[in-house]
Amino acid sequence: MDEKSKKPIHKKWWFWLIIVFVLGAVINSQNKDDENRAEEATPAVVKAEKTKDNLKVEKVEKAKVEKPKAKEKPKAEKAITISALNLYKAYDDNEVAADQKYRDKQLEVSGKVKDIGKDIFDKIYVTIDTGEVLGSVYVSFAKGQEGKIADLKKGQSLTVEGKCGGFTALSVTLKDSKFK
């Protein structure tokens, strides 16, 4: 006489899963509606044009509300010139001081090619020798540099300019680099 007793529907897990899914869909659609309403609100702009004899005024409808542009890039800062050996040594001696001096700044780094390859994301990189057994400067490149990278050979001297990403594992990183 062990008959399964039926649970009320509100005590079953799948019921709550469906409720959460439906609520998520409703909230998501409301967010999209709010965005669409903001785009539909087209304020009128008065455009004034001065001619020789009179002032011509016309009303112009904006197609969409302009969204603020993403942070505009500051004017190109002058790159700090440093050798790969000195850059690595600065990070090896005092990472905090080196970060304050070099991190997120444009650097022009020179040295000799230690290695050329691709990382796990199939992105091309070059490591520059620092004279240390394990340490190097790891350089990732901006698009359009593949042809120049293909011409490189180990031991060849090079100079690159890129943004310092700081010290990771055993390397100082340069991002979005270009050849000089």
* pLDDT 10s digits, 59-117: 544 444 455 555 555 556 789 999 999 999 999 999 999 999 999 999 999 999 999 99
Q: State the Cα–Cα distance between residues 144 and 128, nearest whole angstrom.
A: 20
Q: State the Cα–Cα distance between residues 131 and 89, nearest whole angstrom.
A: 10
Percent of the chain with pLDDT over 70: 71
Amino acid at 129: D
**pTM above threshold 0.75:** no
Phi and psi, residue 112, nearest 5°: -115, 145
* pLDDT 10s digits, 112-137: 999 999 888 888 999 999 988 888 99
Position 178 pLDDT exceeds 70 = yes
Q: State the Cα–Cα distance between residues 153 and 119, nearest whole angstrom.
A: 18
Residue 73 tokens, joined: 């890039």
